[in-house]
């Protein structure tokens, strides 16, 4: 076993032992504890748990890679996935906490006095959450197979087993306290290598400032200017300038923001605090903990890209390629990632060295032949995981990154599975099928639903549908076009009635689904797309992932218009809305 493997087993093993220890300490004994941790979680701790819940394998592993390769255009993810918390804090969380129930569909069903509305919300919740879980399961499998060098499916089973223990036993209570531990692991794992690399490149410890600082190589050039120059010289797009259309960036950011605010597993976290004012504070603390990672990510992305280019392409530009990476002297990280298939090269000109250039590159070699790119595949997802290896950081840092990636994936998977199991046991079993079951039976139903959800998620992780990467657009589209508008109108528009809300949700959801399926294929079945998924076919250049904001607008318009022509909601519903608008009299607060 190599030194790195010993470190990885030690670090990952220790974190797993910690998660199981917490799970046994924080078992749930009632439905209140299982669904909302007894509503007794302090806002700062809840903020950490929400941070871990929210920051998935995508945030930890993929986002910095997206930034590294898209530069400024990836800002949509940074703003979109954080700005949603302002909407949550000001428009949804305090009011939903005041209402004091367990699930999001329950509020929608009660407020619009309609089982149909509740069922639509349950379906959106399950589809959005399941699509998300697939990504987490894949993330766990990749981290295990790369760092522990065990087969992908063993890694997946191990991950499922851990989630099973603490989510089934502890419910929301167990999940919350484990997520707090997982947040600490993941943020430590993310920032430590970032600080090391920022110091190496700029001499500034904080990556937030290092990204704007002068290079430490004595050239006196700003890092960002160096990035722009290197990339343009090598035929790539410049880093800090915009490539996509402004309208699409605008709509994508908006869709991600309202999608974030409408994702049920995030909203549920606000049900776990003792008071309404704690719900507001929780949103603030959540964003503090999320911002720690999200403001570090741009530095990680830019520096990883620069290190990657410099390692392969040295600093030289054709015709001098004498400093380029030699194929018979590839570094260990390069060959290791090559084995996973996420990194590939092809020595097209047979010179024994790798040339890494962009598609705009026009340089020629000494014989006058055009130099073409020989890095045939650089998967964006390897940037964060390979970053510490490329920068030649100590093995314990690399082991830490593996544990962090697994923590991010596990914590998000647990939160999503909990949202799914609550929707099944509380909204479907207790709410529709068997209204008179007691607390103990419902708790059992919750545990069975959780176990079932883990098995389904594991199956989908092992046999990921070919569209796994595309469904993220679907999750945000569903949340943005159906759940967010319904919740917001439920609180802010007293006049919206059951007919308006249901028609609004269905029309918002319907148009968004049709727009996504039109370009991605009906139900993502390959070959059924009505038009190729590229900017020239999109209506006004709006990508399928950006359509959620339009869907939400349609939902608002239809619901408000239909409601104004139909009977107002009954008296007791209007009182309910007046009641959730003031914090006084919130129930269910318990000491812990």
Partner 1 sequence: MSDAQKYWQANIRLVIGCLVVWFAVSFGAGILFVHQLNVIKILGGYPLGFWFAQQGSIYTFVVLIFFYAWRMGKLDRKFNVDED
Residues that bind partner 1 (CB under 8 A): 67, 72, 75, 78-79, 82-83, 85-86, 89-91, 94, 208-209, 211-214, 222-225, 240-242, 246, 249-250, 253-254, 275-277, 280-281, 283-284, 287-288, 291, 294-295, 298, 578, 581-586, 589
Element (H, E) at 344: strand 343-344
Taking CA atoms, 211 is separated from 224, 227, 298, 548, in Å, by: 7, 10, 8, 32
Q: Would you state the torsion angle of the CA atoms of residues 167, 170, 172, 176, taken in this order, to the nearest 10 degrees?
A: -90
Pick between residue 88 and residue 343 the one whose CB is nearest to partner 1.
88
Shortest distance (Å) from residue 515 CB to partner 1: 22
Pick between residue 209 and residue 332 the one whose CB is nearest to partner 1.
209
CB 516 within 8 A of CB 225: no
Taking CA atoms, 423 is separated from 127, 271, 354, 375, 453, in Å, by: 11, 14, 53, 46, 11
Pick between residue 235 and residue 284 the one whose CB is nearest to partner 1.
284
Pick between residue 81 and residue 147 the one whose CB is nearest to partner 1.
81
Question: Six-digit token pair at 325?
Answer: 């990476």
CB 353 within 8 A of CB 327: yes
Question: Six-digit token pair at 216?
Answer: 């430490």
Pick between residue 452 and residue 588 the one whose CB is nearest to partner 1.
588
CB 148 within 8 A of CB 5: yes
Alpha carbons 350 and 356: distance in angstroms, whole number: 14
Determine how many CB atoms are found less than 10 A away from the CB of residue 50: 31
Pick between residue 74 and residue 453 the one whose CB is nearest to partner 1.
74
Question: What is the phi/psi pair of residue 353, to 5°?
Answer: -130, 160
- Bond into 319 cis (ω within 30): yes
Shortest distance (Å) from residue 246 CB to partner 1: 6
Alpha carbons 263 and 256: distance in angstroms, whole number: 10
Residue bearing tokens 């319904």:
486
Shortest distance (Å) from residue 78 CB to partner 1: 6
Pick between residue 86 and residue 437 the one whose CB is nearest to partner 1.
86
287-291 — which CB contacts under 8 Å span 24+ positions?
287/47, 287/82, 287/85, 288/47, 289/47, 289/48, 289/50, 289/51, 289/183, 289/187, 290/50, 290/51, 290/54, 290/55, 290/81, 290/82, 290/85, 291/82
Shortest distance (Å) from residue 159 CB to partner 1: 30
- Where does residue 565 rank: exposed (0-12), middle (13-18), buried (19+ CB within 10 A)? exposed
Shortest distance (Å) from residue 501 CB to partner 1: 21
Shortest distance (Å) from residue 297 CB to partner 1: 8
Shortest distance (Å) from residue 286 CB to partner 1: 9
Shortest distance (Å) from residue 199 CB to partner 1: 16
Pick between residue 244 and residue 452 the one whose CB is nearest to partner 1.
244
Shortest distance (Å) from residue 79 CB to partner 1: 5
Shortest distance (Å) from residue 294 CB to partner 1: 6
Pick between residue 461 and residue 485 the one whose CB is nearest to partner 1.
485
Question: Six-digit token pair at 544?
Answer: 């399928």
Shortest distance (Å) from residue 492 CB to partner 1: 8
Closest CA to 262 of 127, 448, 170, 144: 127
Pick between residue 86 and residue 506 the one whose CB is nearest to partner 1.
86
Pick between residue 25 and residue 575 the one whose CB is nearest to partner 1.
575
Alpha carbons 583 and 97: distance in angstroms, whole number: 9
């Amino acid at each position: 076993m190599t030194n790195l493997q010993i470190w990885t087993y030690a670090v990952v093993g220790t974190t797993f032992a910690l998660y199981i220890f917490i799970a046994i300490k924080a078992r749930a004994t009632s439905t209140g504890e299982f669904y909302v941790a007894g509503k007794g979680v302090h806002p700062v701790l809840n903020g950490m748990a929400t941070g871990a819940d929210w920051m998935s394998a995508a945030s930890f592993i993929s986002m910095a890679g997206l930034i590294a390769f898209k530069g400024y255009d990836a800002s949509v993810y940074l703003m979109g996935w954080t700005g949603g918390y302002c909407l949550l804090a000001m428009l949804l969380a305090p009011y939903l906490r005041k209402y004091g129930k367990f699930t999001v569909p329950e509020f929608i069903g009660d407020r619009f006095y309609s089982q149909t509305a509740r069922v639509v919300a349950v379906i959106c919740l399950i589809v959005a959450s399941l699509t998300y879980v697939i990504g987490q399961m894949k993330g766990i499998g990749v981290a295990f197979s790369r760092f522990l060098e065990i087969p992908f499916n063993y890694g997946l089973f191990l991950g499922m087993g851990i989630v099973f223990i603490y989510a089934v036993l502890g419910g929301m209570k167990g999940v919350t306290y484990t997520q707090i531990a997982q947040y600490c692991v993941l943020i430590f794992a993310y920032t430590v290598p970032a600080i090391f690399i920022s110091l190496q490149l700029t001499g500034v410890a904080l990556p937030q400032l290092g990204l704007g600082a002068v290079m430490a190589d004595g050239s006196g050039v700003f890092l960002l200017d160096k990035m722009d120059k290197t990339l343009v010289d090598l035929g790539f797009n410049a880093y800090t300038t915009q490539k996509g259309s402004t309208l699409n960036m605008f709509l994508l950011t908006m869709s991600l923001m309202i999608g974030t605010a409408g994702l049920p597993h995030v909203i549920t976290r606000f049900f776990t605090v003792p008071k309404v004012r704690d719900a507001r504070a929780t949103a603030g603390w959540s964003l503090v903990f999320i911002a720690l990672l999200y403001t570090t990510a741009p530095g990680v992305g830019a520096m990883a890209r620069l290190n990657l280019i410099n390692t392969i392409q040295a600093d030289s530009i054709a015709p001098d390629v004498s400093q380029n990476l030699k194929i018979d002297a590839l570094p260990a990280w390069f060959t290791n990632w090559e084995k996973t298939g996420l990194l590939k090269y092809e020595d097209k000109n047979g010179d024994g060295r790798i040339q890494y250039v962009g598609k705009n590159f026009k340089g020629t070699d000494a014989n006058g032949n055009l130099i073409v790119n020989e890095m045939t595949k650089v998967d964006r997802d390897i940037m964060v995981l390979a970053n510490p290896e490329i920068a030649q950081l100590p093995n314990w840092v690399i082991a830490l990154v593996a544990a962090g990636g697994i923590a991010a994936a596990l914590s998000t998977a647990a939160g999503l599975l909990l949202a799914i199991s609550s929707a099944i046991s509380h909204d479907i079993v207790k709410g529709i099928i068997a209204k008179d079951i007691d607390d103990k039976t419902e708790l059992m139903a919750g545990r069975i639903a959780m176990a079932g959800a883990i098995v389904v998620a594991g199956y989908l992780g092992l046999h990921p549908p070919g569209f796994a990467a595309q469904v993220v657009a679907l999750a945000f589209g569903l949340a943005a076009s159906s759940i967010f508008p319904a919740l917001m109108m439920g609180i802010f528009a007293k006049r919206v009635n059951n007919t308006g809300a249901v028609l609004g949700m269905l029309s918002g959801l319907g148009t968004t689904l049709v727009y996504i399926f039109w370009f991605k294929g009906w139900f993502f079945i390959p070959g059924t797309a009505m038009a190729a998924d590229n900017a020239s076919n999109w209506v006004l250049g709006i990508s399928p992932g950006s359509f959620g904001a339009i869907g939400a607008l349609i939902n608002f318009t239809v619901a408000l218009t239909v409601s104004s022509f139909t009977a107002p909601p009954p008296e007791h519903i209007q009182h309910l809305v007046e009641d959730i608008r003031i914090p006084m009299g919130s129930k269910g607060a318990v000491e812990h």
